Amino acid sequence: MILPSTATPSPFSDVKIGPITLRNRFIKSATNEGMAKGGIVSKGLARFHEQVAEGGAALSTVAYCATSLDGRTFVDQAVLDDESLPDFRVLTDAVHKHGGAASAQITHAGSFTFLDHATLKTARPLSSSGGFNKVGVMSHRWLKKKMNRDEMDAMTAEFVGAAIKAREAGFDAVELHMGHGYLLSQFLSKIYNKRWDSYGGNIEKRLKFPREVLGRVLDTVGKDMAVIVKYSMTDGHKGNTIEDGVAIAKAIAADGAHLAVLSNGLNVESITAMFGSAFPQANRGTVGNPIIALGMWIQSLSEPKNVVFRENYLRELALRVRASVDMPLAYLGGVQSLDGAQQAMADGFECIALGRALVNDPAFVNKLQSGALAKSACTACNRCVTMMYSPNGTFCVEGKPGDAKLNIIKAGAAA
């Protein structure tokens, strides 16, 4: 068993993650901002991350930077390509201006896509396994395609190319998304991966393709950028267990990942396991996209109804991972106070990933450090999650929404 150090660091102390040093232990976790309308890197998106850096977080993670146009879940997501580089550079410059670092979460949707037939180039979305695509029911994408070796090689090249573009855009880190039911997670999860070849079966085989991607990205940019992996410790109430989550951590540690962000659950099957509190209908907000609204309604039928939020709600699972590896880990899961942050530090986690608390107040970290407050005003109502589908993008419903006009103007456009 690997025990945390007896000398507990301050959450406001600096920390080295691979080739970069962060000014403190607080990371803005990737939470889909909904501020890339039409796929542009907008002034609203850049301002959102600038405010997080200005508010004291050491690393701000830009959610869902797709590896390609086909890698998007929605059309309102940016792609790491030549066209987006100047606008991503505006965003990273804004973060750096306030002493923060920026991370690009590199993602491919796989079969978890709502792109219509006119937008998605492939006849069937790619996944670990073929057959019926339950997510595609809402967008008439009834079938998904089992990836072959050539498609895996091409996909690995997509991830590597996106990491190179992120480096050119001034990002300090990349985060490979291996959780929540996106493509790499579809290989890891026993719910999605039904293969009988060397890429399916036990967790070691299910890890094979994601590890290939990680290794290539590390080889390509790992000397210049922190290479982070975000993954789900469990799939929720079925599928991968914490034993699988521990095996994933051991594998990516052996491969040399610089940090693991410990999330939980899947977007479709177990979103409550991800957020630690129920999504009652009253808290789901109004979604203009009928496909998304239908999906949320279907999802609500199987979700637990009475899950009450508690701070540090993923602590027990995360401690199982902490006891198994000595790689740097970021605790994610409901830290909302100085006491919660200090608990994560005492538990031996190197970093603390925050989502809703920073949507509620981007200056949360500075206020904790100055003593201006000891606890977030976030109530974990989860309305900010559905607000990302609004013209304003994600915002706390107890506060003021962002300027919707900024979400349709490229970050680098003249003022």
In the DSSP assignment, the letter for residue 3 is: P
Q: Mean per-residue pLDDT for 131-145?
A: 86
Task: Please give the pLDDT value at position 2.
Answer: 47
- Considering only residues 102 and 385, tell me which one the structure prediction assigns the higher pLDDT: 102
Task: Please give the pLDDT value at position 308.
Answer: 81
Q: Is 182 a catalytic residue?
A: yes
Task: Please give the pLDDT value at position 1.
Answer: 43
Distances (CA, A) of 262 to 22, 152, 304, 331, 408: 18, 25, 22, 6, 32
284: pLDDT confidence band, cut at 50, 70 and 90? Answer: very low
- Considering only residues 391 and 296, tell me which one the structure prediction assigns the higher pLDDT: 391
List, as one string, the DSSP characters of 298-314: HHHHHS-S-PPP-TTTT
Tell me the Ramachandran region of residue 255: left when phi exceeds 0, alpha when psi lies from -120 to 50, beta otherwise. Answer: alpha
Strand 259-263 relative to strand 351-354, pairing: unpaired
* Given the residues 182, 192, 199, 331, the one annotated as active site: 182
Q: pLDDT of 53-81, one tens digit each? A: 999 999 999 999 999 999 999 999 999 99
Task: Please give the pLDDT value at position 400.
Answer: 87
Distances (CA, A) of 323 to 3, 179, 211, 227, 315: 6, 21, 22, 22, 12
Backbone angles phi, psi at 194, to 5 degrees: -115, 25
Task: Please give the pLDDT value at position 295.
Answer: 52
Task: Please give the pLDDT value at position 9.
Answer: 95
Which residues of 165-291 form beta strands (DSSP E)? 173-178, 226-232, 259-263
Domain-by-domain residue ranges, the chain? 15-408
- Say whether domain 15-408 belongs to CATH 3.50.50.60: no
Q: Which of 51, 181, 176 is nearest to 125 (CA)?
A: 181
Strand 126-127 relative to strand 143-146, pairing: parallel
Task: Please give the pLDDT value at position 411.
Answer: 98
Task: Indicate the SS3 state at residue 210.
Answer: helix
Task: Provide the total of helices (H) and of strands (E) in the chain, helices listed first.
Answer: 14, 13
Mean pLDDT value across the chain: 92
Distances (CA, A) of 230 to 11, 45, 118, 344: 20, 21, 31, 17
